[in-house]
A and B are shown apart, each in its own frame.
Chain A
């Protein structure tokens, strides 16, 4: 581990900048230090073609003068760089308009220890150990007659926050992710992914076999018509539903700006759908506090299909007259708070039972390039990818070509007919998610393609 992510040093750096800001006249100040050592080994055509490592640290200063707020960031952590940071943030604060509803920086509160967020093995991963994992994936592809593509990432980070309300907090986290697309002759493609705090919990050979077996099974796909189909979505596809719900609706700012589908008690899912944001769940990628130094709380988002709550940062919480749930992002943040640790409760169905419940439907491995068409209704368009299958009478008949869909994710949740009992930890665009597979009564496919 590089000294750059040493927690004591990073917190000391935050405290040092805080003192400098207060000395420069800040009525309040907040310093966020993010330091990371990260590495990624990328492979394609069954060989490593990109292999990178990065050592980085940034210091983010929120400098407050009464109700005027200036923010500056620097990657220069020498004295000159830090002096310039304080000067720049202060100069911005002196010229910006007052924020009439500025509620002040968050107060100090108790922060629990989340030991599950760290793994020594991940922090000490090497180029050689990642290459060894990649070779195992490639070997599985070779064995199946397919070609391997993917990446193996490991990283360690330290997050330190100090503010003039007494917050002085530091945490360290690790994460690892191995993903692969396996390509077989005649259009076969398969996907597999594993994510963990502890890289030792990832089995590269198993991931390689899963993708290669699916690639073999998807050769020579046939076309099916677009239209409404019952579907089983594998965990890799369900990630996108949670991501979009978190991004579009389960944020207090989206609610306050009337952009969200969320209303307390509103039913948007079937009884089988329960979601929380749980930053302490060791199955995910835990995090003790947010980027404002506030302890992260477990927030119930959907309980048996009904909306329960959304996540807050300090500013949105003040507007709502409640306390932050610990979901703030680095300042300045016009996007609002987001749930970064979403977890969907498991059901009781095995994979065979999920598929067995389809008279005639589609099994979807994952989605590609999804984007909101109508944000408030959560209407999303995207493509299927890397393994789509026709199911008849509860049995997989064969692979089909990829389809485009234009589907309200709210309507999809209302149509959830079964939830898998097994879950995977995966990475979405908001963070680590823990998800089961699901069966949904109807999914609106709106286009076809050639592969």
Chain B
């Protein structure tokens, strides 16, 4: 691969680039989709190409191609420098990057069972067994069982001498049971909506216990059809990790992306309420119990790697410490503007996209004391909410509204009535300041999402979230159910 990366870097330099990097990426994917016992789709995909990013006259240019040859490396590198010169015609501030030592080395996701060597027929049989367990529950309208795996071989080289190779493997699977009656439609997902995903091998899929959990979750979907509506009001809520991870994602992960803060996503995803003055003024993001870290070294997380896509070493960056806002997800370009070094959060969706500031693993750290079950037992009057059903948050990441698949009433420390169509809404910092209990290590699990969207042209990111359960007080619930 050195021949391609050297060729691209040499050409970029000869065309006037003051900095250049090149990523050569080969991606292998496979997926299985089953609906109500019918194997709807089994597919495999391979993609390979390279992208060249350059700085010329302080402006960025990027070009990419799926044709990995030395001649194409010349063409693409030259095209990138031409684009950078066009960028420079509408430039007000020259780009400056922080210093970092050249990145060198090799990294691979630890994998016990290579998912790409497990025969399709084996994987299909295991998924069909789980699907059948759900589909056989009386009242289920249809089930959807899915599996996916992705492996990337990434070679990164930069004009400062960096050269790294990484092999990153992600796997996921899940089952959704759907029940319907008239206009009412209910779903229960295991292990969470969209499936459970980790940086791991097929051992993670086998460890999920899809078949054992499918039946009880399907029964809950059917029971939801006749459950009472979650009534509107202000309540104490306990969030299961299957919902809490997305709360962290939307209301802490995205607003701490420093590019959003500086407006570079303003026309699309929006900006952030966490402006840089809040780094200095001790902004209280949450209660003392809330500590959130962007940790690219966390085992199993889909945001785990050794170097980000501009060659910065993986690290753990505190975002919120004991409730006080303390840091950002950042890049070599943005970090110097707040007087810091890059936190190593630049990630690209394949060879044909530029790296953007993305979440790594945004983890709400556990607090010693109570497990999730003990938090429920400690709650006199509240709601227990699990598994995301829908999500929405405004362009500054303040006003959010989530729906979950299921709610249980909590009375006197016991889970009671099942309630359907629960929703809750709030303002980000008011919500996190109301957090009065965070689960301990016993309920701390690594989850994540394989479909985090950002950027133009659009990029889909795989990000991780390790969270325990947590409790919040005085939260508006039951929006639209009045």
Task: Spell out A's residues near B (CB within 8 Å).
Answer: 4, 38, 40-58, 69-77, 81, 84-85, 88-89, 91-92, 95-97, 99-100, 126-128, 130-131, 134-135, 138, 147, 149-151, 153, 179-181, 183, 257-259, 331-334, 368-377, 379, 381-383, 385, 402, 404, 406, 444, 446-451
Contact = CB atoms under 8 A, between A and B. Distances in A.
B399 A54 contact: no
Given A50-B62, A376-B185, A99 B39 contact: yes
B46 A73 contact: yes
B425 A369 contact: no
Contacts of B89: 48, 128, 131, 135
B124 A58 contact: no
Nearest to A73: B45
Interface in B58-110: 59-67, 76, 79, 82-87, 89-93
20 contacts: A40-B457, A44-B266, A50-B264, A50-B456, A51-B87, A53-B62, A54-B65, A72-B45, A95-B124, A96-B124, A99-B38, A127-B61, A127-B82, A138-B90, A181-B267, A258-B180, A370-B392, A373-B423, A382-B392, A383-B394
B46 A84 contact: yes
B163 to A, nearest CB: 23
A183 B266 contact: yes
B395 A385 contact: yes
Contacts of B153: none
Interface string B10-45: 000000000000000000000101010011111111
Contact of B124 (A4, A42, A97, A332): A97
A381 B481 CA distance: 13
B283 interface: no
A382 B270 CA distance: 14
Contact of A447 (B31, B46, B47, B401): B401
A328 to B, nearest CB: 13
B352 interface: yes
B139 interface: no
B84 A51 contact: yes
B11 to A, nearest CB: 16
B263 interface: yes
Given A47-B93, A53-B79, A127-B61, 5 more contacts: A44-B263, A48-B86, A181-B266, A183-B263, A404-B394
4 nearest interchain CB pairs? A332-B41, A127-B86, A73-B45, A71-B43
A185 B402 CA distance: 31
Contact of A54 (B64, B119, B394, B456): B64
A25 B415 CA distance: 58
Contacts of B119: 95
Contact of B86 (A85, A128, A150, A334): A128
Contacts of A153: 456-457
Given A45-B92, A73-B46, A334-B41, A131 B62 contact: no
Contacts of A376: 180, 183-185
Nearest to B53: A52
Interface string B283-317: 00000000000000000000000000000000000
A373 B398 contact: no
Contacts of B41: 71, 331-334
A83 to B, nearest CB: 12
Contacts of A40: 456-457
Nearest to A130: B86
A23 B47 CA distance: 24
A75 B24 CA distance: 13
B49 interface: yes
Given A47-B91, A74-B46, A53 B124 contact: no
A50 B91 CA distance: 11
Given A334-B40, A334-B41, A448-B399, A75 B47 contact: yes
A55 B67 contact: yes
Contacts of B265: 44
B141 A258 contact: yes
Given A49-B60, A53-B63, A73-B46, A374 B394 contact: no
Given A372-B390, A383-B399, A43 B45 contact: no
Among A372, A385, A451, chain B packs the most CB atoms within 10 A around the CB of: A451
Contact of B480 (A53, A149, A406): A406
B121 interface: yes
A74 to B, nearest CB: 5
Contacts of B389: 373
Given A50-B354, A372-B390, A332 B90 contact: no
